[in-house]
Amino acid sequence: MVRELTHFIGGQHVAGTSGRFSDVFDPNTGLVQARVPLASTAEVEAAIANAAEAQLVWGAWNPQRRARVLLKFLDLIAKDMDSLARLLSSEHGKTVADARGDIQRGVEVIEFAVGAPHLLKGEYSVGAGTGIDVYSMRQPLGVVAGITPFNFPAMIPLWKMGPALAAGNSFILKPSERDPSVPLRIAELFLEAGLPAGVLNVVNGDKAAVDALLTDERVMAIGFVGSTPIAQYIYQTAAAHGKRAQCFGGAKNHMIVMPDADLDQVADALMGAGYGSAGERCMAISVAVPVGAETGDALAAKLAERVAHLTVGHSLDDAADYGPLINRDAVTRVSAAIQAGIDAGATLLADGRGHTVAGYENGFFLGPTLFDHVRTDMELYREEIFGPVLIITRADTYEDALALASDHKYGNGVSIFTRDGDTARDFAARVNVGMVGVNVPIPVPIAYHTFGGWKKSGFGDLNQHGPDSFRFYTKTKTVTSRWPSGIKEGASFVMPLMLE
């Protein structure tokens, strides 16, 4: 039976009225499991109106009272974790264990946002001048919005809405239309936790919904995660309409492998970092960079051996290392990238095309693919593939390897595996990439540090979660205060100075 999904506006599930729908597939079977409505401009405007009205009440709550709602939400989502993970898995295709990780990393940002009473404190200077005090306060922006991708349907919405709500804003979420059920469930849990109706709205849609959020003057800020072309479009359009924007795009994350590294540790790390979640992670390691011919030969052999033993299966199968891709178009696109690599002359060590899972022959499965001797002029190296494809691009020296990661157009994440502290320290300081791992394959920072890439991977001055998130979702007001003690000084036409 095909489920009919809704929007979530004003604290209620609301049926779509645009007459336009998108199919939500079960990636394991290839069958349609739900239909999601695609909002019209009018439907988005209704959500904005609800959010604007509700924010006046929510923003007036003190930060501690708002934090209590987040604490209650944490309790509810913990109780709902198993069913939520299975729901996420059924629409996305990642394994249930990986889905739990998706939710948990989002939960950690909510835990951080519970500290809003401290994070929203301003600054105070007593006696800045004679009888004059100066202080600042952080205040909510008003209505803010998030446009989030299919690959983390729980984590990234929570990354954005947690700090935004804790800071006193109302939030409109436009999740991916490919797997929208988890975001809708999250909205239900927030309402159950005591969030006033209308403070969090979920509007499903496509470009029409996105453009409505970008152009409506009541929406003060936009957060986005997705492909680089769309990130650039949203950033530029938001800026043109006077909005704040933090937009994160594509990636081509490198792992530098020094000759002194433990290659068994490296190979195991690359299995999870390259093929986990079918490679559909913006922080996936997709380029292994061994330094030196001997390191390259040994690493290629170890990777080929491990790839042959990976298990690709149904996302609910506990024995599966990873499940299907999100849809048929993704399989077609990644398969074309593999063929382009072969045509360009890269050495194919493992070909995942044509992979099937018994009983699920129509699922969107693709086996692990491994290339060696990939040159920097190949499309396989230049572009993000977003699938279970790991490439080896060799470097003769450490400086060559450093340059590969630094010069690539993307600058999301990078990692180095080495036993030498001097090398690791030099690399972390010099590499032109936003997030760095040292003997850590996927360098996603913990919730109280900030997450964000450089170059074509990120657009905007402030990043996700950590202290940056509260700076992004608030505006600073500075007050200069004086209480005269009956002294009459007369008019002054000189720029005021605080010299005494």
Q: Active-site residue among 46, 214, 282, 346?
A: 282
End-to-end CA distance of the chain: 77
62 vs 371: CA distance, rounded Å: 55
CA distances (Å), 289 to each of 32, 71, 213, 402, in order?
40, 43, 41, 10
If 0-12 CB within 10 Å is exposed, 13-18 middle and 19+ buried, where does residue 60 land?
Answer: exposed
The three-class DSSP label of residue 161 is helix
| The token pair that represents 278 in the structure block | 């079918």
Q: Do the strands 244-248 and 253-257 form a parallel or antiparallel pair, or are they unpaired?
A: unpaired
| The token pair that represents 11 in the structure block | 């604290």
DSSP character for 201?
A: E
User: Is 246 within 8 Å of 453 (Cβ atoms)?
Assistant: no
User: Is 66 within 8 Å of 168 (Cβ atoms)?
Assistant: yes
Which residue from 325, 323, 322 is spatially nearest to 335, judged by alpha carbons? 325
Question: What value does the CA radius of gyration of the chain take, rounded to a whole number of Å?
Answer: 25
Q: Assess whether 282 carries a catalytic annotation.
A: yes
499 vs 128: CA distance, rounded Å: 9
User: Is 470 within 8 Å of 119 (Cβ atoms)?
Assistant: yes
Active site residues: 282
